[in-house]
Structure 1
Amino acid sequence: MKSKLVVLLSALLASGAVLAQPKAPEPDYTLSFNVGAVTDYRYRGISQSRLKPALQGGADFAHKSGFYVGTWASTIRWVEDAGGNADVEVDIYGGYKTTFGAFGIDVGALRYLYPNSELAVSPNTTELYVAGTYGPATLKYSHAITNLFGFADSKGSGYLDLSATFDTGFWGMTVTPHVGHQRVRRNSGASYTDWSVALGKDFGNGLSASLAYVDTDTDAYFAPNGKNLGRAGVVLGVKYGF
């Protein structure tokens, strides 16, 4: 009888019916990197790369407490078009994320840097932001505590946007509609609304791709070649994270 019990116990242990494998402990922090390219770098609906391709990349550090910091960079052309010298944008950000049941909140600060821009009004910009997420939807407000991207006397400008991400149920693709409004303080002619719809696909192993339709209601932003930087367009992007 004793030998039968030993055999039965051994079988149960082998099948995992008695002792489950313990879960791996949550890491104290994660560090990730990403590189990518887009056919047109659109930010808040406006092309930053003169409707041409851009290379991009970044790094993110997140602690399990909810605090995070990161940096991101992209090639650009708009500063040169405005008479400056910067051909790259470097962003530095940090903040805190947490959840309350089904509701999530994200607060932080973001600094946009354009090294050696040499414009009359510095395009370097600092914004504070707060975002609330419920289900697939996120509402976010960003408030400039400096001049906004080279607009004189524009401190206090704000950007409000609403977006959501849905699983299409087809080939693992997601769809993300978005609408936002940029208010440029004391430069009302530069204020505008933008909207977009993006399809996303995660191929696994860190590789993802996106296809977006982007448009705005403004014709206040032009490149030296006369092209409207806020016109409707389709943007293809690829990204590899590791």
Structure 2
Amino acid sequence: MSLRAAALLSTLVLSGTVFAQTAAPAPDYTVSYNIGVVSDYRYRGISQSAKRPALQGGLDVAHSSGFYAGLWGSTIRWIEDSAAPSLDGKVEIDLYGGYKGALTDSVGYDLGGLFYWYPNNNLSTVTGENANTFELYGALSAGPATIKYSHAMTTLFGAANSKGSGYLDLSATFDLGNGFSVVPHVGWQRIDNFGTYRDYAITLAKDFGDGFVGSAAVVGTNWDDRFGAPATLVGSGNRDLGKSGLVLGLKKTF
């Protein structure tokens, strides 16, 4: 082999090595889907499904710049149960979007808005206000901990004169290894012209791989202590919708 041929072969081998080691560029957009079931749909500690199972699912789109958007839905019962005879409103659909960034290497932020849409609901025939609700939110995260505040720009889930209500959420996620994680949470919901209650939860989750995650959570509120009566609705009978309980869940992400 001539010196020129050997040099050319060496160049081609080295170039191939460089190409093999060069990772493909990350896509600008990522899209994920999820579907799941829970034994009880709790939101801010209060059962939305009359302490019965609920089907849930969502779609998330994220851009490499930090912008994101998505939707999420669940079966519910609280609107139908708010009066007798039952009202219309079997489904909750959440539409949201925002931006995630970093203030420092260790502190991140998340700013956005969320619209809670209850198709065909007629809660206004009882409360005078539509159940549909829009909130703006902001969050800061450092290490495993996150603090988030949500502010209602409309009345809050059909509660009369509740525009301007706010929710403060403190939570953290701790990796226990072997696919296990634990998430403690405490929150305070202020309902303008009504009062404030506290909710709490501790969730144990297990990642089984292939997108499957199971969870078990103890969830509750101090509603009874704060307002002197359990959280009940006409259609849910004597079920205390804010009482502590165990919630099981299974979700698959694609």
- TM-score, normalisation: structure 1: 0.91
Specify whether residues 89 and 20 from structure 1 end up closer, same or farther in structure 2 by C-alpha distance, changes over 3 A only: same
* Separation (CA, whole Å) in 1 of partners of 2:96 and 2:26: 24
Structure 1 residue 181 corresponds to structure 2 residue 188: yes
Residue 36 of structure 1 corresponds to which residue in structure 2?
Answer: 36
Greater CA deviation, 38-47 or 79-88? Answer: 79-88
* Secondary structure of 1:78 counterpart: coil
RMSD: 2.2
Q: Tell me by how many angstroms 1:234 deviates.
A: 0.5
Residue 241 of structure 2 corresponds to which residue in structure 1?
Answer: 229
Q: Tell me by how many angstroms 1:20 deviates.
A: 5.9
* Separation (CA, whole Å) in 2 of partners of 1:223 and 1:143: 25
* Secondary structure of 2:80 counterpart: helix
Residue 159 of structure 2 corresponds to which residue in structure 1?
Answer: 151
Residue 173 of structure 2 corresponds to which residue in structure 1?
Answer: 165
Residue 123 of structure 2 corresponds to which residue in structure 1?
Answer: 119
Matches within 5 A, 1:57-76: 57-76=57-76
* Secondary structure of 1:197 counterpart: strand
Aligned counterpart for 1:218 among listed residues 215, 223, 227 = 223
Structure 1 residue 209 corresponds to structure 2 residue 217: no
Sequence identity, in percent?
55
* Secondary structure of 1:131 counterpart: strand
Q: Tell me by how many angstroms 1:212 deviates.
A: 0.5
Matches within 5 A, 1:184-199: 184-188=191-195, 191-199=196-204
Residue 227 of structure 2 corresponds to which residue in structure 1?
Answer: none
Structure 1 residue 88 corresponds to structure 2 residue 74: no
* Secondary structure of 2:79 counterpart: helix
Residue deviations 1:25-62 (CA, integer Å, cap 9, x gap): 11110111111000000001000000000000011111
* Separation (CA, whole Å) in 2 of partners of 1:221 and 1:115: 24
Aligned counterpart for 2:205 among listed residues 200, 204, 207 = 200
Q: Tell me by how many angstroms 1:223 deviates.
A: 3.2
Residue deviations 1:188-207 (CA, integer Å, cap 9, x gap): 2xx21011100111112111
* Secondary structure of 1:81 counterpart: helix
* Separation (CA, whole Å) in 2 of partners of 1:28 and 1:113: 29
Residue deviations 1:121-166 (CA, integer Å, cap 9, x gap): 2111000000000000000000000000110010000000100000
Q: How many residues align?
A: 235
* Separation (CA, whole Å) in 1 of partners of 2:45 and 2:182: 17
1 or 2, which has the higher helix percentage? 2
Query: AA paired with 2:232?
Result: F
* Separation (CA, whole Å) in 2 of partners of 1:129 and 1:238: 27
Query: AA paired with 1:240?
Result: K
- TM-score, normalisation: structure 2: 0.86
Residue 97 of structure 1 corresponds to which residue in structure 2?
Answer: 100
Residue deviations 1:200-235 (CA, integer Å, cap 9, x gap): 111121111111011110134213311110000011
Query: AA paired with 1:185?
Result: D
Greater CA deviation, 66-75 or 216-225? Answer: 216-225
